[in-house]
Chains A and B, each alone.
Chain A
């Protein structure tokens, strides 16, 4: 039952993310294919836009390395937390922290 709940939550989150991205890409597509827009003006507008990007290869590589390290750390931390949860559940069922019965 618990796995089912996690799956539902994950699915819901993925659906919302997909919805957001679909919305964003749809909006971009509509903007690109909108009839009657002067392509020259559009190109000029695009050239005046500032797009965020890596400044050099060093920054790009460093960021990807950081991303990999981040997900690896998250995986390790989740593994540790799962062990701690198991231990906490075990102690809870043993009533380890409950006050002694009088």
Chain B
């Protein structure tokens, strides 16, 4: 090859094989049908996660994960650091949007049954990604170390205690001791910035690989139609559309973050009693309310224990949903679709009830 004509692009392509990736993306196709809008929800989660990572790096420059420094450093970020409150607000709202879209994505996949045969592992890795997102929210909630976050963490880490045999050990592992202390902040901070991101990247890589391997699924109702499903190339047709969605979502996120920034409560006092009406973040409210509706005891078993088991069982069933829903086109499949709507309605109603 004539080195004088070699461009930078060709230089990198020789070494990285980028043209093979571009060719793969050009050949990859995306089905076009009336449910195609669900395809954008996955990448929306990725957008918010990227924003989380970037704003998280910025916050880490000033945050101190210690008993004395946590609340003060967050107060400093809000009051002294130029536009620190904006970065914190973006980080907080991006978490909300990310988890909201994770739920939308899960219910979307459940309703159109994209987890059908050969895509079961995609669903399972996606389920774990949702759990990791919730854990991100749970661990991050304690970090400002204010009254509300301390109380909510005390309540949240106390819940596993109702599991027989291992419950107390799990609570102790989460808290780094019998109670929520400075060890808990350090532990939660370490989990939030190192363990969870590593787990997320590994699972995300597997999830994305599986999507590329199996392609985008077509809903059963579209497959059953006589006409061939139209497709369009992933690159550049679908990517340009995704960019539009990303731009609008990013615009909405920044606007909401600027107009509705989160405040910081009084510094947590380990000796003070929990304030009245302690509630977790919105994405845990339906679970919180579910725990509250169970009576103190049912026969000889504590209501808390039964509630935790019911929630865990529901989680396991949702995890194995592709294997349970092995005949999506039949009566069983339709019942499972109806169950998706019922679950969504239950979660919304319980969330509203917990706010009243």
**Contact flags (1/0) for B67-92 with A, using CB distance below 8 Å?**
00000000100110011011011000
- Judging by beta carbons under 8 Å apart, are B236 and A88 in contact? yes
Selected A-B contacts with CB under 8 Å, 9 pairs: A12-B104, A30-B356, A34-B276, A49-B264, A51-B261, A63-B86, A74-B250, A77-B243, A88-B236
Among A5, A6, A53, residue most surrounded by chain B Cβ atoms (within 10 Å): A5
Report A59-87 residues with CB < 8 Å from chain B CB. 59, 63, 67, 70-71, 74, 77-78, 81-82, 84-85
CA distance A76 to B115 in the complex (A): 38
Check: A101 CB closer than 8 A to any chain B CB. no
- Residues of B whose CB lies within 8 Å of any CB of A are 26, 34-37, 40, 75, 78-79, 82-83, 85-86, 88-89, 96, 100, 104, 232-233, 236-237, 240-241, 243-244, 247-248, 250-252, 254-255, 258, 261-266, 276-277, 279, 282, 348, 351-352, 355-356
Binary interface profile of A, 43-54, with partner B (CB < 8 Å = 1, else 0)?
001001111110
Question: Which chain A positions have C-beta within 8 A of B252?
Answer: 17
The contact of A59 among B83, B233, B243, B352, by CB within 8 Å, is B83
| A6-B37 contact given A34-B276, A45-B266, A81-B240, CB 8 Å threshold | yes
User: Across the interface, which residues of A come within 8 angstroms of B263, CB to CB?
Assistant: 49-52
Q: Given A31-B277, A45-B266, are A19 and B348 also a contact pair (CB < 8 Å)?
A: yes
Identify B78's interface contact among A26, A31, A52, A78, CB under 8 A.
A52
**Minimum CB–CB distance for A99 against chain B, Å:** 10
Contacts of B251 in A (CB 8 A): 70-71, 74
Which residues from B are CB-within-8-Å of A82?
244
Alpha-carbon distance A38/B88, docked complex (angstroms): 31
Contact of A18 with B by CB under 8 A: no
Please measure, in the bound complex, the distance between the C-alpha atom of A52 and the C-alpha atom of B185, giving whole angstroms.
Answer: 23
| Smallest CB separation, A19 vs chain B (Å) | 7
What chain A residues lie within 8 Å of B258 (beta carbons)? 63, 67
Which A residues fall within an 8 A CB radius of B?
1-2, 4-6, 8-9, 12, 16-17, 19-20, 23, 26-27, 30-31, 34, 37, 45, 48-53, 59, 63, 67, 70-71, 74, 77-78, 81-82, 84-85, 88-89, 92, 97
Min CB distance, A93 to chain B, in Å? 10
B248 lies within 8 A of A74 (CB): yes
In the complex, given contacts A4-B34, A89-B237, A92-B232, what are 10 additional A-B residue pairs having Cβ atoms less than 8 angstroms apart? A12-B104, A27-B355, A30-B277, A52-B261, A63-B86, A71-B255, A78-B247, A81-B244, A85-B240, A88-B237
